[in-house]
């Protein structure tokens, strides 16, 4: 898969994952365990260096106690603020 050229969207995703994780007072290790992913992968997502697949995003949203729709809406809201 080719990387996205929309860096603002990738950054909005990264910020939202980290912000929600911190809201829940989870460590990266906690989130990795809940989503059955590796902690370094979570770290790379949070700094915008990895672009997860839709199935991984679904696992992360569930681990962050959000529906996939709620999670996407939160990312979209952050993204919308940066592109205006």
Long-range contacts of range 52-56, CB-CB < 8 Å, 24 or more positions apart? Answer: 53/1
pTM summary value: 0.92
What pLDDT is attached to residue 1?
Answer: 57
Report if residue 63 sits inside a domain: yes
Q: Give the burial class of 67: count Cβ atoms within 10 A of its Cβ; 0-12 exposed, 13-18 middle, 19 or more buried.
A: exposed
**Could you read off the pLDDT of 7-54 as tens digits, one per residue?**
999 999 999 999 999 999 999 999 999 999 999 999 999 999 999 999
**Could you read off the pLDDT of 62-82 as tens digits, one per residue?**
999 999 999 999 999 999 998
Q: Which residue has the higher pLDDT, 27 or 5?
A: 27
C-beta of residue 49 within 8 angstroms of C-beta of residue 39: no
Tell me the CATH number at 71: 1.10.260.40
| Tally of domains in the chain | 1
What pLDDT is attached to residue 83?
Answer: 79
């Amino acid at each position: 898969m080719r990387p996205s050229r929309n860096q603002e969207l990738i950054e909005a995703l990264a910020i939202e994952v980290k912000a929600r994780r911190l809201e829940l007072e989870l460590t990266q290790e906690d989130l990795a365990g809940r989503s059955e992913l590796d902690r370094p992968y979570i770290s790379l997502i949070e700094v915008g260096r990895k672009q997860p697949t839709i199935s991984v995003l679904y696992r992360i949203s569930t681990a962050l106690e959000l529906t996939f729709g709620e999670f996407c809406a939160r990312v979209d809201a952050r993204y919308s603020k940066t592109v205006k």
